[in-house]
Structure 1
Amino acid sequence: MHRHLLPALLLASFLALISASSFAAKTPYSTNVQPEWLKEVLPQAETFSEKEMGEAPVYRGYRTNPDTGEQEQVGFVFTNRDYPPMRVGYAAVIDVLVGMDMDGVVTNMKVMDYNESYMYSRGDFVDNSIFYSQFRNKPITDGFRVYRDVDGLSAATATSTAIARSVGETARKVARFYMGFGEGSEAEQNSNENARMLLEEMSWDDMLAQGMITELESLSAEGETLTMAFTYIGRRALGEFFIGEEAYNNVESDASFRAGGGELLLIMPRGPGAGRGFRQFPMSMEQDGIVRRVAGNRYSNAGDAVEGAIVGHANYGVVVAMHPDFDVTRPFTIIYHPPGANKTDASVDYTLGGLGLSLARNELILSEEELLAQQLENASFLTRLRLDPPWGATPWSDVVLLLGILGLVMAAFFTKNSKIRWVALAATLLYLGFYKNGFLSVSHITSVIKLGPTAITNNLTTFIIIVFTVITTLLWGRIFCSSLCPFGALQDFISHFRPKKWRIKVPQKVHDNAIYIKYAILALIVVTAAVNPALSIFQYFEPFGTLFFFSPSVVLWGILLAILAGCFLVERFYCRYVCPLGAALGVVSLVSPLRIKRVEQCTMCKVCEHACPTGAIRGEKIDFKECVRCDICDTKLITLAGTCRHSIDEIKRRKHHISRLPLVDLEADTPATVTS
């Protein structure tokens, strides 16, 4: 009955410590919109309406017009929850409140509620003023894409992506419903947005290479060099991109009034012969052998090159409304007739290509995500992995550094070189622990229970560590615990530098019972995750999250300090008695075939038993689930330290004549004696 008393008391103490907060551990937020939040996301509003329900729920914001004294609407406030489907972050959906003015510009946003596992260690890590500021005065025509027009939160790509896409997608839905944002069907509206985003990514040289732009060299009437660039702008996305919204509206209206409409061709003159102001360049168009002179009523002034892609590539813009019989999707020739006698015509063939051709054909422009989805529809597994890896863009610098650390870990393991191992431990603690926060946690197990395999494949470096840990544990045991766990490395540094007189040897009976506490903790965490996925308690048993993320929780810091105190007194205290991840790896290591070798001398020797930092050795037997593959006993066999240096016959002879054998204490400079 007394055998299990200590483990029960220790576990009960932990549960008592966290009971006030762990089982009520919910996010300190609300999905109920608070009145002050409305003003926070739409600051120019003075008053707000009640929430309008229906197909597109919103709050309307108003202010008093200083000129008329009347109330006028200045924008909308809305939540992404009212516009499903909601984006999922690392662990769950994220509730966002968004403000938008009447011009389709996001004024601000606020994360109302989220339940990411990292918050238990890092606190409210989304509450980042720099991250929030990126969403102030952001047009809904932007991409809202992390690592493009939005900088993500550190070590939280999935969370950042969910927030950014939620803001952009929800704002566009509201703008379509109330403000007529875009034209046509939702697919057509998405196509226009995709076209604008693709155009913004193109350079002038890109458009020349694609055939969207062609150029003609000639001379002016005065004999000066004249370069004219031509491009099709018969679709709004193209026109606004090249000359700006206002200029495009003007030329579209003018062409409709003067020429009755028609496809629009933009002329972009530059060079000394172009002059500084609008002029009608005498020209003809030829297609299928038919030549048509461009009449004067078909020219429109696009204004000076002060806005759009034309800036820096032309002095001004001239737009030609083409004859209705011309098909811009097929090749045609542009012929320029220089004014003056004896001037030779100049011509250039124009075959519209690239994005311009797709728009001219009224093809839907797909986003990168939609194009990728088409490519992946019938692709092989390897092709899908190459084109759309679950972790997104490959962080090559992080991968190379991580592989270097893994190489150090395995080099130390195979060579049993203590210097290499200390280098690996330092890299693990400083880089993976404090810098990258790239350590494994039992939370990865609970996340898989809640979300499936995607919980561990959305971060490549974490996935590599997991694969490495699983393979090495299955083959050799808990190599991860030895040299790749930042908190394990910290414990080894503590043991190495703390005064030896502080070390306490745990009574064998107490130790034998206490090692099972971590298995009980593991079971508690896993069962809780399975029964109630919304509840997370792992942070109360994994202090490294508190340390490396600098948690704001006083309770978590208290637990961390208590565990560190134990580590100062007992080697690998946390690994021995508390670590749930170590417990899980210990269970896996039971099937490991490549275990530590034992020799006949081990039946009479106590050197390795006394030196084992986790107390896993008893005489010649090793409790392999408790072994962290620290190399101490392997090294003793290689160097023939202690009793290992004597033959078994010599040991038997000495044992027969004397009761004490001279052995070498691993942590002493002089031989010590222990009872065989």
Structure 2
Amino acid sequence: MRFVALLAGVCVLLLVPAAGIHAAQPAPAISAQPEPADDLWNFEDDEEEVETWGTLLRDQAGDLLLFVAFAALALVSFFRKSVRLKYVTLVAAVLYLGFAKSQLISVVNIYSVLTGNLPVFRYSLAWYLFAGFTVVSTVLWGRFYCGRVCAYGALTQLLDRVVPARLRVDVPRWLERRAALVKFGLLGATLLYFLLTSDIGAYRYVEPFWMFTRQASTGMWIGLAVLLAATVFVRNLYCRFLCPVGAFLGLLSKLTVFGIKRWSECNTCKICEKTCEWGAIRGPEIVMTECVRCDDCERLYADTAKCPHWIILRRRSDFPQAAR
């Protein structure tokens, strides 16, 4: 992790000798060397500012403040478990990080970390804040970035909400678990290709994030259209099965500090497992490599009318009164 950036000034003044010569004095000898053109005009040198942290921060303040505001919105929606704020965050991610800034964590960034070829810190403060937030939030809560920050993931989640449920195809659990491994294979293959060839241009064929720049070949747009059409039927298709960045953050999420609470009743209850649209719940276990902290199961845990844990507790507390 790293954060923050440098400007102030010098000036040089050309002095021209005074031409006050007494009229009675003989005329001075004319120099055989012509004066430099710059001296003839007597222009002052332009001031050149020197970088300071203050001026660098001032120049990048807009980007820094906008991302801090977005991160605050994402965190508030996460801690409050608010469905409305979650969708406000997803819309903001698409518009701000997607179409306005085209800023997403890419497999190219992972390659840059491996090779040490990173942006200059003092000129890229907002990017380092963005990357640092992604890493820290992943270690703290898991794939928080995938569930709330990634512009492409946000777009597919919004798409899922407007597509009629009757069009969806439920992937069998056995196939879903095997398909989830594909993204890890793509991560390894892509990084190996980069290391062997140093050709980072290939990332455009494994990530659709370029769509936010609106610069691609006709064939790539056709491929994107096919991918989005398939996402209509298989929810979050790319994020669940194909995303190398999701695979990398999934591996990092094995370090998650604050996992999701589980009750003893979770050993037999299947309500959350059936509800999870990411295939991240398998019996009593939450698979952190797949979980994007979407809040669906956590809201169910807190629902005293649906969660068996609370229903059983309520019945136990009512039983002594009924026995009287």
The normalised TM-score by structure 1 is 0.40
Is residue 168–residue 235 contact of structure 2 (8 Å, CA) maintained in 1? yes
Residue 599 (structure 1) aligns with? 263
What is the distance in 2 between the residues matched to 1:484 and 1:499? 25
- SS, match of residue 148 in structure 2: helix
Residue 18 (structure 2) aligns with? 265
Residue 550 (structure 1) aligns with? 214
Residue 174 (structure 1) aligns with? none
Residue 295 (structure 1) aligns with? 22
Cα displacement string for residues 500-541 of structure 1 (whole angstroms, at most 9, x for unaligned residues): 101111011111100010000000111111121135322111
Cα distance, 1:265–1:438 mapped onto 2, change above 3 Å:
farther
Residue 587 of structure 1: how far off its partner (Å): 0.1
Cα displacement string for residues 312-362 of structure 1 (whole angstroms, at most 9, x for unaligned residues): xxxxxxxxxxxxxxxxxxxxxxxxxxxxxxxxxxxxxxxxxxx89xxxxxx
Residue 635 of structure 1 pairs with residue 299 of structure 2? yes
Residue 252 (structure 2) aligns with? 588
Aligned partner of 2:312 among 642, 647, 650:
647
Residue 560 of structure 1: how far off its partner (Å): 1.3
Cα distance, 1:534–1:540 mapped onto 2, change above 3 Å:
closer
Is residue 575–residue 582 contact of structure 1 (8 Å, CA) maintained in 2? yes
- SS, match of residue 513 in structure 1: helix
Residue 152 (structure 2) aligns with? 487
Cα distance, 1:387–1:648 mapped onto 2, change above 3 Å:
closer
Cα RMSD, aligned residues only: 3.2
Which aligned pairs between 1:12-411 and structure 2 lie closer than 5 A? 233-234=15-16, 264-265=17-18, 294-296=21-23, 386=53, 394-411=59-76
Q: Aligned partner of 1:578: which letter?
A: L
Residue 616 of structure 1 pairs with residue 252 of structure 2? no
Residue 453 (structure 1) aligns with? 118
Give the unaligned 5+ runs of structure 1: 1-193, 200-211, 213-231, 235-263, 267-282, 284-293, 300-306, 311-354, 357-364, 373-383, 652-676
Cα distance, 1:403–1:433 mapped onto 2, change above 3 Å:
same
Residue 457 of structure 1: how far off its partner (Å): 6.9
Q: Aligned partner of 1:401: which letter?
A: L
Residue 415 (structure 1) aligns with? 80
What is the distance in 2 between the residues matched to 1:638 and 1:483? 21
Residue 475 of structure 1: how far off its partner (Å): 1.1
Residue 309 of structure 1: how far off its partner (Å): 7.9
Q: Aligned partner of 2:15: which letter?
A: I
What is the distance in 2 between the residues matched to 1:638 and 1:450? 45
Q: Aligned partner of 1:295: which letter?
A: H
Residue 615 of structure 1: how far off its partner (Å): 0.7
What is the distance in 2 between the residues matched to 1:630 and 1:640? 20
What is the distance in 1 between the residues matched to 2:101 and 2:285? 38
Is residue 457–residue 463 contact of structure 1 (8 Å, CA) maintained in 2? no
Is residue 301–residue 307 contact of structure 2 (8 Å, CA) maintained in 1? no
Structure with bigger helix share is 2
Is residue 169–residue 234 contact of structure 2 (8 Å, CA) maintained in 1? yes
Residue 619 of structure 1: how far off its partner (Å): 2.3
- SS, match of residue 300 in structure 2: helix
Equivalent pairs counted in the alignment come to: 295
Q: Aligned partner of 1:635: which letter?
A: R
- SS, match of residue 640 in structure 1: coil
Residue 186 (structure 2) aligns with? 521
Residue 620 of structure 1: how far off its partner (Å): 1.8
Residue 539 of structure 1 pairs with residue 204 of structure 2? yes
Give the unaligned 5+ runs of structure 2: 1-8, 29-39, 317-324
Q: Aligned partner of 1:520: which letter?
A: G
What is the distance in 1 between the residues matched to 2:167 and 2:292? 23
Cα distance, 1:551–1:480 mapped onto 2, change above 3 Å:
same
Residue 435 of structure 1 pairs with residue 100 of structure 2? yes
Aligned partner of 1:512 among 177, 192, 214:
177
What is the distance in 1 between the residues matched to 2:90 and 2:176? 26
Residue 498 of structure 1 pairs with residue 225 of structure 2? no
Is residue 208–residue 224 contact of structure 2 (8 Å, CA) maintained in 1? yes
Residue 473 of structure 1 pairs with residue 138 of structure 2? yes
Cα distance, 1:641–1:621 mapped onto 2, change above 3 Å:
farther
- SS, match of residue 289 in structure 2: helix
Cα distance, 1:396–1:599 mapped onto 2, change above 3 Å:
same
Residue 239 (structure 1) aligns with? none
User: Which structure would you say has the larger Rg?
Assistant: 1
Residue 628 of structure 1: how far off its partner (Å): 0.4
- SS, match of residue 506 in structure 1: coil
Cα distance, 1:457–1:538 mapped onto 2, change above 3 Å:
farther
Aligned partner of 1:463 among 128, 131, 134:
128
What is the distance in 2 between the residues matched to 1:491 and 1:539? 18
Residue 225 (structure 2) aligns with? 561
Identity, % of aligned positions = 29
Larger RCO (CA under 8 A, 6+ residues apart):
2
